[in-house]
Every structure is written in structure tokens, then in C-alpha cells.
Chains A and B, each alone.
Chain A
Amino acid sequence: ILEKTESGSDARRRILNIAVSTILLEAGFDAADKMSLETLTEMLQCFLSEVGNSAKGYCELSGRVEPVLGDVMMALLNMGINLHGLEQYAARPNRHVIQPPQQ
């Protein structure tokens, strides 16, 4: 079981790595050294955990069980995330979708 979970987290981590690499390529970088790639991957993982934690906090604070859009927004705003231009970012032309892992 330990080996199974190990490979599972590796697979997720690899997908985050691919995601960071795609973002770098989209921005116009041609290459990256291992440490900066790993730093950004770690940041992405922390970002997701932090949003989840914070949104859950706001959700439970208002006595709900299931998070709603407002909770997620409060979490993002409280983290100082700039949400302007998110729609344009979503519609950017050269985006690349990563294949989800096989279950």
C-alpha cells in the first residue's frame, strides 16, 4: 500500500510539474533549471492546499457544509490573488490541456 500511495503522489506531482512547464512555455521561456521548476511546482501545490484550507474555513464560518463560490472568492481575495483578467486568461489562444491520469 505504501508503494502504491508513493507512486500516486508521484504521478500527481508529475502532473503539477507538467502544468508548470506548460505555463513556462506559454510565457515564452525555452528552458528552466531544475530548482526554479521545483520551486514553482511547490508553490502550485501550496497554492491549492491554501485555497482549499481557507475556503473551507470561510465555508464553516458561515455554517455551511458545502463550499460555494463566495467562499472560494473570499479565500482567493484574502490571499491577495489578482482575479482581474481571469476570463481573458481562460480564453488565451495557446493553451494546452494536460491529459488526466488513468485511475
Chain B
Amino acid sequence: MQMSRIGSPSVGMDEDSGAGHALSDFLLQLENYNPSIPDSVVAYYLNMSGFESQDPRLIRLIALASQKFLSDIVNDALQHCKMRTSSQMTQSSKNQKGPKEKKYVMTMDDLAPALQEYGITAKKPHYFV
């Protein structure tokens, strides 16, 4: 009983002891660091799901992790967007030559395949309010 209770977290920690060590060093740096999302907003959503911490560094860590998560997805979506627009550009380059300024617009066509790589299925709803 006691063994299994102690055993299970340590199994998880063993796999990432390197990352864990680096992250605890990193946590100390978060003392005077401001992520983009304000602490109070992140703390609100965490409190909504029952997480309550007096340590603002943990909240900042979560805010950063969420930003990076979205940033990775958005970067993937940007690659999709660039590929799509460049294939369209080569098709239309016969008619109009010269460098046209590119404007990257995120649409669901780019976002959905990017999300699919992360195992998230996004479907276009029939209507959107």
C-alpha cells in the first residue's frame, strides 16, 4: 500500500529527472518574470478547476506552458498557410509577376490540419455565433 503510493510518482519522475531539474532552476527565475497572460486571469481559471496556490511562480509556469503550447500549434498552422499560399502563388504567377506582398491570414483550413497533428479534431460548425 505504502510502496505503491510512493512508487507511482517516482516512476513518472524518473523519466524526466533531467527536465525536472532544469525546470526547478527555471522556476527560480520566474520570480521576476511576467508572462503575456496576466497572473490574475490564469489564477482565475485555475481556481475555477480547484487549483489554488500561493506561489505565483507556479501560475507563471502554467501561463508560459500554455503560451508555448499555442505557439507551437500556431507555428504549424503558419507553415500550412505558407505552403498553401505559395502553391497558389505559383499557379497565379503566370498572370502577374513581380513580388506581391504576402499577407498571412489564419483560417480554419490552416488550423485544422495543425490541430490534427496534435490529436485534436476541430470541425467546422454549421453555424457560428
B48:A16 contact, CB within 8 angstroms = no
1/0 contact string of B1-44 vs chain A (CB within 8 Å):
00001000100110010011011101101000111111111101
**Count of chain A residues with Cβ under 8 Å from any Cβ of B?**
66
**Count of chain B residues with Cβ under 8 Å from any Cβ of A?**
66
Q: Determine the main DSSP class of A at the interface with B.
A: helix
- Chain B residue contacts of A72, Cβ below 8 A: 58, 61-62
- Chain A residue contacts of B110, Cβ below 8 A: 36
A residues with CB within 8 A of B: 12, 15-16, 19-20, 22-24, 26-40, 43-45, 47-53, 55-56, 58, 61-62, 66-70, 72-74, 76-77, 80-87, 89-90, 95-101, 103
B9:A74 contact, CB within 8 angstroms = yes
B26:A48 contact, CB within 8 angstroms = no
Judge whether B94 is part of the interface by a CB distance below 8 angstroms: no
- Chain A residue contacts of B87, Cβ below 8 A: none
